[in-house]
Structure formats: structure tokens, C-alpha cells
Amino acid sequence: MAVTDKNEIEQLVRNEISRLTKKDGNAVDPDLHLGAGLDMDSLYMLEMYAMIETTFGVMIPTDRLQFMNTINKIVNTIVEFQEMEKK
């Protein structure tokens, strides 16, 4: 079953940021631009996308990836697509 609780989603996103960047994802401001603030390039974001698809059970169009550049935007996009899939 996919994770749907917003706090749990945020924690899993933070865990993935930690895994990818080797930095403490829990210390990252949720509105920090991940590219500029953590040097997460497009390859990191593709890995994040793969984790989102697998962990949360949502298929987010790849053209939305460029806008998913903060923790808050990632979490909100996941929640948005989970809600759309319920309908």
C-alpha cells in the first residue's frame, strides 16, 4: 500500500535526499531550492522520480519534474497525484 500521510511522505523524501546527497535531509529547509542549495542535478532528480513512482505509487509526468525543486513542492505534487488517482 502506498504511503499517503503528508508527514510520512515528507520524511521519505527527506530520507531520499540524505541518501542521494550524503547530507542530513532532516536539516534541509522545506523551501530550499534543491538544485541551488544542495547541488541536486537532473540525475539526482531522476533518481528521486524513480523513488516517488515506486514508493508512492504515482506516475508524475516528467515535464513536472522541473517544478519539483523543493521538498514542499515534491510533497505537494505527490499528494496532488495521489488524490487524482483516487478519483
User: What is the rounded CA–CA span in Å between residue 7 and residue 67?
Assistant: 20
| pLDDT at res. 62 | 83
Sorted by sequence, the CB contacts under 8 Å of residue 28 that are 6+ apart come out as: 14, 17, 34, 37, 38, 71
| pLDDT at res. 27 | 96
**51 Cα distance to chain centroid:** 8
> Which CATH class, in words, describes the domain spanning 6-86?
mainly alpha
| pLDDT at res. 1 | 54
Q: Per residue in 44-81, pLDDT tens?
A: 988 999 999 999 989 999 888 889 999 999 999 999 99
Hey, where are the domains in the chain?
6-86
Kindly report the average pLDDT of the chain as a whole number: 91
